[in-house]
Structures are given as C-alpha cells and as structure tokens.
Structure 1
Amino acid sequence: MGQLEGKTAVITGGHTGIGLASAVRMAAEGAHVFIFGRRKAELDAAVETVGAPSVTAVQGDITNVADLDRLYEAVRARGRGLDVVFANSAAALFSTLEHTTEEQVERILAVNVRGTLFTVQKALPLLNDGASVILNASTAADNGTEAFGLYAASKAAVRSFARTWANELKGRGIRVNAVSPGPIDTTGIRDLFGEEQLPAVRENLAADTAIGRMGRPEEVAGVVAFLASDQSSFMLGANVYVDGGENQI
C-alpha cells in the first residue's frame, strides 16, 4: 500500500509544473486526486499523465469563489471527504517599487493571497479529521530579489498563513505546513522570463544554489507527498525548503 492509500486530495494548479508532479506522486501513493486549473487543454493532458481512474479534473480559477465551490462540490459528490489540500496555484511577475501598478498588485494578491485563503477556507467543511493542508510558499519570501518584491510579499503572507491556520485547525487534528521551493525548472520559469532569456536564466539560477543545479518538479512533489502523509505526523506549521541549499548554505 502507498502512503496515501484511499485518501482524497485536491491540488490547485495541478495541471502543470509542481502541481502536476505532485498529482502524479500522490496518485502513485494511492490517492484519488482532484486537479484544478484554468486551461482545459492542459488539464486534459494532465489527466492522461496522472492516469484514470486516479484523477478528476475540474476547470476553474482560484480567484473565482464560485469556481472553488464547483471544485469542492465535485469532491463532496465523491462522498469520501477530503484528506489533502495542496494550495499550489500562484502568479508571479517582476516589477520594481517605482513601477508597480494597481493592476499588478490586485493580480498577485488575488491569486497568491486571496486565492490561497479561499482555497483552504472552502475546503474546511470537507476536511476529514487528521487531514493535511500544504501551502506552496517560496524562497523568494526571504531573498530580497530586486523587482520581485510584490511576489515575495505575497509568499511571505502564505508562509504566515501556514503558522496561523496550523494553530486554528490543530483542534481537529488538521496539520497545516508550507513548502518553499527554490529555483525549480518548470514552464513557469519560461513564462516569467521568456524563451530567449531562458538558457541564461537557467544557468544563473543553477549557480545560485549550493547544489549547483535547478530542481525538478518531482523533487518538490516528493516533499509534498511526505507532508501529505502520516510520515510527517509530528510536523505542524513548518516550512520545508526544497531549494538545493540556496537559502541554507
């Protein structure tokens, strides 16, 4: 039996990158995984990657609470409650303090802060006692990277949520923890920097780590699966760095 045999999991942004790798890993550990994302074509491809009957795809946007209600209605209809929530969806951009706009602030906070909050809040009635909630934070919250302040602040908020919600939900035996990936080689890197800059960006990001390379989504997924399982039963409010030593050495 896998570490998550018979469990039900929700992963936002489960159609690509770390979310998809986590869906594959959780399904391999025996969970039924609900993946949630905006793009239907990528969701359909993710279903093929994870493999039926271990996955259910729900299309929607975490900034739309009605979409989140549809997601959790699908979970409720399955009739087994919810054991794992991986609040993974995020948005990122570069903008200095001088050039940051209202629209940029609204976009980043809507996805990374408001969306994360309602992803977890809407799950509360379905969470089984002893469930695990994992929030995707980031090493960016600590690094002070130039022009990345808005994103970094949003991820610092996510880290703070993990502490507060861990305290609020511990009475139900629900564990809330965060994972903070460093430079992980996903399509999000390409989207953020553009195809032309990608080789140089990858080289620079790899050089920032003590281990000398970028991480793979599967390496974060392994930590997410650990936090989702009973193997991490004595962890509460923690923040696990998966950063190749970037912020550690």
Structure 2
Amino acid sequence: MDLQLTGSRVLVTGGTRGIGRAIVETFVDEGAVVEFCARNAAEIEATEKALAGRAGRATGVQLDVADGPALTGWVAAAADRMGGIDAVVANVSALAVPDTEENWKASFDVDLMHTVRLAQAALPHLEASSNGSIVAISSVSGREADFASGPYGTMKTAIVGYISGLAFQLAGRGVRANVVSPGNTYFDDGFWQGAEKGMPDLFSMALGLNPTGRMGRPEEMARAVVFLSSPVSSFTTGTNLVVDGALTRGIQL
C-alpha cells in the first residue's frame, strides 16, 4: 500500500532510540522529510548517518522537550526549514514510574505538556496542510491499572483524553488527532531490556501476561503511527489504537 507520504514534512520528538527511532525510520522509508529531536548529540548524529541514502531524509536537533520555549521555538524553526508541517508525533516520555513527587512533575512536564505544546505550536502549520495530523504516544498503562499506575500511567491516560478532545475540536478544521498505545515493547537499552536484567520477576510477569508469548517490537508500533499519520487514514481521528498483542483484555467502547 502506498501511504502517500512522499515529500511529507514530519516532526517527531525523541527520534534516536526505541519506538521513536523506528517511527523516524518508517517515515523516511516512505519518502517523508523528517525532523526529530533528542537530548544526546552523539545519538542524533548516529541516527542521521544510519538513515542517510533512503527514500526520504531525517535531520535531528538537540532539544529537551521539557523546555517549553525551546520546544515551541523548534517547531517554528523546523516549519521554516521544511516549508511547512504536515504531521507531528509526540513520542517522548520521562518513563517516570515510581510514585514520587519528582516523578509526578517530570511526567507532567515531559509526557503531557510536551504533547500539548507540540500540538499547539504546530497547529497553524497543520491547518495549512492538506493532511494535517497529530499522533501522540500513550501506553496500555494509560488504559488500565497496572504496575505503572501513578505518574506514568496517569499522564498516559491524560494524553488520551487530551487528544480525544483535540480531535473533536479540530475535525472541522482539517486536522486529525489520534493516539497509539503500545503494549510492552522490547528493544536495546529500553525499559524492558533493563527489567530483564535488573528486575527479572517483573519481566517474567509482564512476558507471561501476553498471550503471544513475546513483547512488541519498535517497528510494529511505528507502522501504526505512520499509517495514522498518512493520507490513507484520512477519516480516522479521535481514535486510540492499541498495539499490544492482546495484552489488555478490556473491551474498548
């Protein structure tokens, strides 16, 4: 299927590792022009080199998304460089699971408010596009209570609520807004690889809950994001697409 993304101008937050890296890579392979941000300059350079020579192109900017003015400034500058914006993906998470006041603040600033600020800053450019799209990354921990309930899970729930309202508000303005909620996703230097080594009981429990017998891969999450961002998904807005291998059992009404 041709996702009709050749030449599309896309912003992705947190594009050097895990799901974010896979999202950037999938957009580039579809011919999109991508700007991504991350905090580590060396990882940005490595990602740019790894994705060079593909159908599209990817360029990275060093940025901490918890810095509101820096984030909104990046959106404006990227729009100037690319001549507009067609899609944005709010991917970054603080991954702040333990129930501490510091983690509540980090989760609010990084998970929720970076999503809000990215959407708000990009909106004028998305309205000018023929395919304006916002996709935010939540989690199955935002859909049901689990070990990550607390700062992480609560903000992931808030993201779904925010995007649902945004989809309704923007439907008549030609901009779509959707959520992808990944299940447990395993990748190098990710949370679950760390748990496998440092918290084997938690890892075994989580792995055992999934009827597929495995965890997800970043590229499986990325494909859902890129599809929802594409013109092929032009009548899909306000949805929360759960990609979890039947990990969650609740019926989503």
Instruction: Return closer, same or farther for 1:34/1:147 CA change in 2, 3 Å cut-off.
Output: closer
Q: Secondary structure at the match of 1:82?
A: coil
Normalised by the size of structure 2, how large is the TM-score? 0.89
The total of aligned residue pairs comes to 244
Q: CA deviation at 1:174?
A: 0.6
Q: CA deviation at 1:113?
A: 1.1
Which residue number in structure 2 is paired with residue 174 of structure 1? 175
Q: CA deviation at 1:84?
A: 0.9
Which residue number in structure 2 is paired with residue 92 of structure 1? 95
Percent identity of the aligned residues?
34
Task: Specify the code of the residue in structure 1 equivalent to 2:19.
Answer: I
Q: Secondary structure at the match of 1:143?
A: coil
Q: Aligned equivalents of 1:101 and 1:32: distance in 2? A: 39
Q: CA deviation at 1:191?
A: 7.8
| Residues 11-48 of structure 1: CA deviation (Å, up to 9, x unaligned) | 00111110100100001101001111111111111112
Which residue number in structure 2 is paired with residue 20 of structure 1? 21
Tell me, yes or no, if the aligned pair for 1:11 and 1:19 is still in contact at 8 Å. yes
Tell me, yes or no, if the aligned pair for 2:3 and 2:227 is still in contact at 8 Å. no
Q: CA deviation at 1:162?
A: 1.3
Q: Aligned equivalents of 2:223 and 2:65: distance in 1? A: 24
Q: CA deviation at 1:3?
A: 2.9
Instruction: Return closer, same or farther for 1:28/1:68 CA change in 2, 3 Å cut-off.
Output: same
Say whether residues 1:114 and 2:116 are aligned partners. Answer: no
Q: CA deviation at 1:104?
A: 1.9
Which residue number in structure 1 is paired with residue 198 of structure 2? 196
Task: Show the 5 A alignment for 1:115-130.
Answer: 115-127=114-126, 128-130=129-131
Which residue number in structure 2 is paired with residue 222 of structure 1? 223
Q: Aligned equivalents of 1:70 and 1:184: distance in 2? A: 31
Task: Specify the code of the residue in structure 2 equivalent to 1:225.
Answer: V
Tell me, yes or no, if the aligned pair for 1:184 and 1:216 is still in contact at 8 Å. yes
| Residues 151-179 of structure 1: CA deviation (Å, up to 9, x unaligned) | 11100000001111101111221110000
Which residue number in structure 1 is paired with residue 39 of structure 2? 38
| Residues 39-88 of structure 1: CA deviation (Å, up to 9, x unaligned) | 11111111122225601111101111222133223322224211110100
Task: Specify the code of the residue in structure 2 equivalent to 1:141.
Answer: G
| Residues 165-215 of structure 1: CA deviation (Å, up to 9, x unaligned) | 101111221110000000001333158648433x65444322211211000
Which residue number in structure 2 is paired with residue 165 of structure 1? 166
Q: CA deviation at 1:125?
A: 2.1
Q: CA RMSD in A?
A: 2.0
Unaligned runs of 5+ in 2: none
